[in-house]
């Protein structure tokens, strides 16, 4: 090896490598992407927001719907071309696939997209630095066996400076996996069975977030209200008790959680909505259908009447709560009557926000084997009608905020000078027009009055 080559290699070894993470899907994937970035930083990788600067591209995937998976393969096709161009210039590019598509398809990803160097599932992110090291040495890595060890014990804690750079709101995973086995859903097969993080881990992370300036924490889980653990008093705790405990942490002024299952909405959790000012009056509680026949086929294990009675109890505890939900149209066997039952449930509940989709058959789920699949045309027609009703309810809810006065957490600067953007207690974005003497800072919780209502946001002035 000549001297010039030695100098070049030495310089390259001292230059930090960069990782670009592309995230699809839910808030938990956002959280996981951050933790993967933290884990790689200890191996010398710096995060970058520019894919062209990256030495490693990680795609954190979602497998809930067919189109989400296809987006991943489309992205991998673009990365194949990018990798060839890099090679022509003498530069390397590594490509990894993480998340639920990785867990579900494993070796099939490498067969279908040879550009991929490593595949890693959600339970093994703590092994990512070692997997990257092996892949850099030429191995094709597939890490999709469910880890026996607790990944959270092995993932490095996010340092204070990095947490500060991510803002005054943060996600915190408290529960992973699902034991519900809804017949339309792949989550039990891609995320595994329900696992709750220990209380001490959660509290430690929450305190570190508070110390770094985070003021609002959203607790995450595939079935977040299924969280359970041993409390400080030695008794069994559920999510309600956890929220009471986290509300005592200085610096944390707002708490939220998502996503919930109606079957796990117990009395103590409802009481927390009544008793804790820090727990924001917003609840995402998916129902999927208003037809008891379809709910049974989905294996939801509750009826429409059960769900509505639960909503009434929650609203009695917290009258100003805003409700959000998930809906599927065109599940196998859904008739016009079943769909109308869903529309009736939506009218009865009156949602502030909701997510709705056409049924997407996922291979390996029981729903894919059911007879009487609904045509795409009927699915689309029902979805359009449902979304029109949900949008009208959302618009009505937003209009009802006009001229109201309430507290907003200031999260970031707005698009224009003297503008800031924050979130209302009901999760709606609020654009705040400030006055010269306001002296607002990111992280302030301020009182505003709503002056105008946009399509997806509110506009306010300071009070």
pLDDT in tens, 298-328: 999 999 999 999 999 999 999 999 999 999 9
Distance CA 192, CA 196 (A): 12
Q: Where a domain ends, among 357, 382, 400?
A: 400
Q: Which of 143, 177, 194 is the last residue of a domain?
A: 143
On whether both 236 and 289 belong to a single domain, the answer is no
185 is in an annotated binding site: yes
Percent of the chain with pLDDT over 70: 96
b/e map 363-389, b = 16+ CB within 10 Å: eebbbeebeebbeeeebeebbeebbeb
Within this chain, do residues 437 and 377 fall inside the same structural domain, yes or no?
no
**36 within some domain:** yes
Phi/psi region, residue 194 (left: phi>0; alpha: psi -120 to 50; beta: rest), is beta
- The CATH code of the domain that includes 428 is 2.40.50.140
98 annotated as ligand-binding:
no
Kindly state whether residue 148 falls inside one of the protein's structural domains. no
pLDDT at 4 over 50: no
Give the C-alpha distances (Å, rounded to integers) separating 78 from 73, 106, 117: 9, 20, 15
Q: Specify whether 139 is located in the same domain as 8.
A: yes
pLDDT tens digits, 103-136: 988 999 999 999 999 999 998 899 999 999 999 9
410 and 309 in one domain? no
Q: Do 171 and 258 belong to one domain? A: yes
Per-residue pLDDT band for 14 (boundaries 50, 70, 90) equals: low
Q: Is 434 inside a domain boundary?
A: yes
Binned at pLDDT 50, 70 and 90, residue 437 comes out as: low
Give a yes or no: residue 229 inside a domain.
yes
Q: Is 155 domain-assigned?
A: no
- Both 106 and 15 in one domain: the answer is yes
* Average pLDDT over every residue of 34-52: 91
pLDDT grade, residue 8 (50/70/90)?
very low
* Element spanning 111, H or E: helix 107-112
Instruction: Tell me which residue has tokens 């591209």.
Output: 57
Whether residues 253 and 175 fall in one domain: yes
Q: How confident is the model at residue 150 (pLDDT cuts 50, 70, 90)?
A: confident
149 in any annotated domain? no
96 beta partners: 58, 118
pTM recorded for the entire structure: 0.89
Residues 116 and 11 in one domain: yes
- From CA 43, how far away is CA 126, in angstroms rounded? 12
Asked if residue 189 and residue 306 are part of one domain, the reply reads no
3-state secondary structure (DSSP) of residue 160: helix
Sheet containing 45-47, strands listed edge to edge, beginning at the edge strand earlier in sequence? 45-47, 17-23, 56-61, 94-98, 118-120, 141-143
Say if residue 178 carries a ligand binding annotation.
Answer: yes
According to the annotation, is 100 in a ligand binding site?
yes
Residues 386 and 304 in one domain: yes
Beta bridge partners of residue 458, listed in sequence order: 430, 453
CATH number at 164 reads 3.30.750.210
- Between 20-29, 58-67, 306-315, 423-432, the lowest mean confidence (pLDDT) is in 58-67
Does 182 share its domain with 212? Answer: yes
pLDDT digits (tens, 9 = 90+) for 324-369: 999 999 999 999 999 999 999 999 999 999 999 999 988 889 999 9
Tally of domains within the chain: 4
pLDDT tens readout for residues 379-398: 999 999 999 999 999 999 99
Domain boundary residue among 219, 246, 268? Answer: 268
Q: Identify whether residues 386 and 423 lie together within a single domain.
A: no
Note whether residue 150 is domain-resident. Answer: no
| Residue 7 pLDDT exceeds 50 | no
pLDDT of res. 6: 40
The range of the structural domain enclosing residue 344 comes to 281-400
214 within a domain of the structure (yes/no):
yes
Task: Name the pLDDT band for 436 (thresholds 50, 70, 90).
Answer: low
Q: What percent of the chain has pLDDT over 90?
A: 77
* pLDDT per residue as tens digits for the range 159-173: 777 788 789 999 999
Please state, in angstroms and as integers, the Cα–Cα distance from residue 67 to each residue in 64, 75, 191, 263, 369, following that order. 9, 12, 19, 29, 20
What 3-state DSSP class applies to 155? Answer: coil
pLDDT at 160: 79
Q: Taking 50 as the threshold, does the pLDDT of residue 10 lie above it? A: no
Is the pLDDT assigned to residue 1 strictly greater than 50? no
């Amino acid at each position: 090896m000549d001297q010039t080559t030695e100098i070049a290699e030495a310089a390259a070894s001292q230059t930090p490598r960069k990782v670009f993470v592309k995230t699809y899907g839910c808030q938990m994937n956002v959280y996981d992407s951050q933790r993967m970035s933290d884990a790689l930083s200890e191996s010398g990788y710096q995060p970058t927001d520019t894919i062209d600067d990256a030495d490693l591209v990680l795609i954190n995937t979602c497998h809930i719907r067919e189109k989400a998976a296809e987006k991943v393969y489309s992205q991998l096709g673009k990365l194949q071309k990018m990798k060839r161009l890099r090679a022509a210039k003498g530069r390397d590019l590594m490509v990894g696939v993480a998340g639920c598509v990785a867990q579900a398809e494993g070796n099939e990803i490498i067969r279908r997209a040879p550009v991929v160097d490593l595949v890693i599932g959600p339970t093994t992110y703590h092994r990512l630095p070692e997997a990257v090291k092996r892949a850099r040495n030429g191995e094709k890595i597939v890490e999709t066996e469910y880890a026996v060890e607790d990944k959270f014990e092995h993932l490095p804690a996010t340092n204070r400076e990095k947490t500060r750079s991510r803002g005054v709101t943060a996600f915190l995973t408290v529960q992973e996996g699902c034991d519900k086995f809804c017949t339309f859903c792949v989550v039990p097969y891609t995320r595994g069975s329900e696992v709750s993080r220990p209380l001490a881990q959660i509290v430690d992370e929450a305190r570190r977030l508070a110390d770094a300036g985070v003021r609002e924490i959203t607790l995450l889980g595939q079935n977040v209200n299924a969280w359970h653990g041993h409390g400080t008093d030695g008794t069994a705790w559920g999510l309600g008790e956890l929220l009471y405990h986290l509300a005592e942490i200085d610096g944390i002024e707002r708490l939220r959680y998502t996503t919930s299952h109606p079957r796990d909405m117990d009395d103590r959790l409802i009481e927390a909505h009544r008793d804790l000012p820090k727990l924001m009056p917003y609840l995402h509680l998916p129902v999927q259908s208003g037809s008891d026949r379809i709910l049974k086929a989905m294996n939801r294990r509750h009826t429409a009447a059960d769900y509505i009675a639960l909503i009434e109890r929650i609203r009695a505890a917290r009258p100003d709560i805003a409700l959000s939900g998930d809906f599927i149209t065109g599940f196998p066997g859904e008739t016009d009557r079943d769909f109308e039952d869903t529309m009736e449930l939506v009218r009865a509940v009156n949602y502030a926000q909701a997510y709705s989709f056409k049924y997407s058959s996922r291979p390996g789920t029981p729903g894919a084997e059911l007879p009487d699949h609904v045509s795409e045309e009927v699915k689309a027609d029902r979805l359009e009608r449902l979304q029109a009703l949900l949008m009208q309810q959302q618009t009505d809810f937003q209009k009802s905020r006009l001229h109201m006065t309430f507290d907003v957490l200031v999260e970031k600067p707005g698009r224009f000078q003297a503008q800031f953007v924050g979130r209302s207690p009901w999760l709606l974005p609020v654009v705040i027009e400030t006055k010269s003497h306001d002296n607002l800072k990111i992280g302030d919780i301020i009182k505003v009055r709503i002056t105008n209502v946009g399509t997806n946001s509110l506009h306010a002035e300071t009070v």
